[in-house]
Amino acid sequence: MTTPPLWRDFKQNNRMEAYKCKNCGYVSYPEKRKVCPKCKKAPSEFETVTLGPRGKILTYVVAHTLPAEFESPIPLAIVEMEGGGRIYAMVSNCKPEELKIGMEVELDYREILEEDGYHVQSFKVKPVK
Site membership for Zn ion, residue 23 (CB under 5 A): yes
Binding mask 33-52 for Zn ion (x = CB under 5 A): ---x-xx-------------
Q: What residues between 52 and 81 interact with Zn ion by CB under 5 A? A: none
Give me the least distance between CB of 44 and Zn ion, in Å please: 6
* 51 burial type by CB count under 10 A (0-12 exposed, 13-18 middle, 19+ buried): buried
Q: CB of 103 within 8 A of CB of 55?
A: no
Give me the least distance between CB of 20 and Zn ion, in Å please: 9
In 7-53, where do the E strands start and end?
17-21, 27-28, 46-50
Site membership for Zn ion, residue 26 (CB under 5 A): yes
Q: What is the rounded distance in angstroms from the CA atom of residue 123 to the CA atom of residue 89? A: 7
Give me the least distance between CB of 56 and Zn ion, in Å please: 22
Question: Which residue of 13, 16, 20, 21 would you call a contact of Zn ion, by CB under 5 A?
Answer: 21
